[in-house]
Amino acid sequence: MQVLDCDILVVGSGLAGLVAALRLGRKSRVILATKRAPDESNTAYAQGGIACVMDPEDSLEEHVRDTLGAGVGLCRETVVRAILAEGAARVRELEQLGVRFERRTGRAEEYDLGQEGGHSRRRVLHAGDMTGREIIRVLVDQAERHPNIEIRPDLMAIDLVTTGWLKQPGPNRCLGAYLLDRSNGEVLAVRADHTVLATGGAGKVYLYTSNPDIATGDGLAMAWRAGLPILNLEFVQFHPTCLYHPEAKSFLISEAVRGEGGVLVNAAGESFMEKYDARGSLAPRDIVARAIDNEMKTRGDRCVYLDITHRSTRFLRHRFPNIFTTCLKFDIHMARMPIPVVPAAHYFCGGVEAGVDGHTRLPGLYACGEVACTGLHGANRLASNSLLEALVTSHVTAEAILDQPASGRAPRCEIPAWQSGAAVPSDEGIVVEHNWNEVRTAMWDYVGIVRTDRRLERAMRRIRNLRREIRQYYLDTLITPDILELRNIADVAELVVRSAQQRRESRGLHYTLDYPETDLSRPAAETRLQDPPGGAVSERLD
């Protein structure tokens, strides 16, 4: 088995992974592993932008207040302040690298700031409606030209390797990971002093999602299998407005459309958000998603509509070039007709417990971006705070790693060769597809926007049965990317259900008909899942 050595292994090539790699590459040898192309990530599909105080009339206190309000009492205020205060400096670094944020027409010194749900002011920096694509374009170019960064595309992480699993003396520590080379089907290992998980989210756990196909919760599942605590995974954000069309796959209609005056209406053309919240269509996402869900169920409609027809074609083409063009492909002229939309799974507010500096409970392992739970988002993420968190925490994580003394490096233990045992090539791809669809359908039907104890129990029974089948299939067949992703979404699905069953109240993104009230009279408790390591690497090698 091939073993690659480096100072730092970074897993994931979204905003968090790329910023961490670029910062670390100044002093260290970095391998950046990404399971597909380096420019394919959740970040690349981000339309709205980065929430950051850049307007002299805005203030950090207002941004903090909006973030805490959206998080419904579950944000860690010290974390909120630390991340939001760093935003402006990190944004300017992006600009120095070449990222171009929109400026106001005729006023080049002023940003064209957007407004989104839950924000009391315009504070979202954007690059048209393709902000993520612009950021990734610049960062990938920088990483590809960096002498200390080796980008390895088509390299999918399987599991973490730890000294505890190797039965080495001393405290448990991460040594790197096993990875599958998608180009040739071979398993290799990367041995590193420090490993950074920046694997993004897990939207593909649900049947309908705004996320690309890569968002299968790989880092979450790997960390849990290694015994790390997972926080607040019941808080899954459903974006209220994904394009509803039989030929449109997971296309997001940015919240910025509502920020520019778009109004949600039902099939009868009636504005309905005022019934649910005084902020109307600019209420936070949890409120809007539940309102749409209720409106559709009450009326029996398959979707609702986002109406911005009061804006001119010229304005919409300039402000939302990608959305405008995509809608036209489906014969929807957004200046002349409302856009059909439905909610879809979008963002995981919970994740691997990690500090702002990426530290986890496993020495040598760091987590930043959506895979991590720092406490910034609480029970509901404020719009466009996700790219801000990825940008800031990846920078701070890299600095924390670079500040580590030489004594903090991992021991150079030999990593055992991957053993396939009696595993045989899979000749039943249909089994993987069926299990994949069963997990995602169960999650959509029973663990969606509105939950009940009975629905969660049904989901748990089905997913636990599926996990048993998937585990056996994983052991009996030679691994493939499809099998690894199936294993990961099933693991994450059970964690979401378990977390939801623990929370006996409705709060933010977790709404249950059995406990519809939110108790704001006392501090909210975090949901924590931590199981002893097992059922991970040792399944194949012991």
- Residue 315 pLDDT exceeds 60: yes
Buried b (16+ CB within 10 A) or exposed e, 219-253: bbbbbbbbbbbbbbbbbbbbbbbbbbbeebebbbb
Chain-wide mean pLDDT for the chain?
A: 95
Q: Where residue 534 falls among pLDDT bands split at 50, 70, 90?
A: low
Q: Where along the chain do its domains lie?
A: 1-235+349-406+418-542, 241-343
The whole-model pTM stands at 0.95
Instruction: Give the pLDDT confidence score for residue 535 in this predicted structure.
Output: 46
* Residue 36 three-state SS: coil
Non-local CB neighbours of 78 within 8 Å, separated by 6+ positions: none
Q: Among the options 191, 225, 285, 290, which is catalytic?
A: 285
pLDDT at residue number 422: 78
Domain 241-343 adopts which CATH fold?
Flavocytochrome C3; Chain A, domain 1 (3.90.700)
Neighbours of 266 (CB within 10 A): 17
Contact 351, 370 (CB under 8 A): yes
From the list 393, 417, 362, the residue with the least C-alpha distance to 76 is 393
**Tens of pLDDT, residues 407-457:** 777 788 999 999 887 788 877 778 899 999 999 999 999 999 999 999 999
Side chain identity at 462, as an amino acid letter?
R
* pLDDT of the residue at 431: 87
Q: Is the per-residue pLDDT at 540 higher than 70?
A: no
Q: What is the mean pLDDT of residues 247-275?
A: 95
Q: Judge whether 65 counts as a catalytic residue.
A: no
Is residue 172 predicted with pLDDT exceeding 80?
yes
What is the CATH number assigned to the segment(s) 1-235+349-406+418-542? 3.50.50.60
Q: Are 18 and 390 in contact (CB under 8 A)?
A: no
How many residues in total does the chain contain? 542
Q: Does residue 515 have a pLDDT over 70?
A: yes
pLDDT at 249: 80
Q: Strand, helix or coil at 306?
A: strand
